[in-house]
Amino acid sequence: MSDATNITFTIETFPNPAPLRPYTIMHVNSEFTSVCPITGLPDFGTITVKYVPDQTCIELKALKYYFLDFRNKGIFYEAVTNKILDDLVAVCNPLEMDVVAEWSVRGGIHSVIHASHKREK
């Protein structure tokens, strides 16, 4: 199993059509799946990305392909959430961004990880 931290990617963007007005864009992917690095069994989750764009918006189809790259990678809950936040902030440099990962039940336990980024002024 390859190391998820080595995913190389490009995510297409487009210019924000309303750069003068702060507003919120949210994309909810309820079909995210990656692999547990210990057991090799798949994990299933819902990833929510919510951001206030500055000059650049993330293209929706490109975002879908970015998520697909995790399908067969081994990565932990906490790590994948922070990695998605790091990657997407790097791509579009938003004013604010939240990433929430909600995972399906494992051993009777349901987990949710929530990480946020706010651009320093």
Q: Which residues bind a copy of itself (CB under 8 A)?
A: 16-18, 21, 23-31, 33, 41-42, 44, 57, 60-61, 63-64, 68, 71-72, 76-79, 81-82, 85, 104-117
Sign of CA dihedral 42, 85, 46, 12: negative
Q: How far is the CB of 90 from a copy of itself (least distance, A)?
A: 14
CA distances from 64 to 41, 107, 119 (A): 22, 29, 25
Residue of 3, 36, 69, 92 marked catalytic: 36
The yes-or-no answer on residue 92 being catalytic is no
Residue 93, by phi and psi: left (phi above 0), alpha (psi -120 to 50) or beta?
A: left
The yes-or-no answer on residue 43 being catalytic is yes
| Of residues 76 and 95, the one with the C-beta less far from a copy of itself | 76
Backbone angles phi, psi at 58, to 5 degrees: -85, 130
Catalytic residues: 36, 43
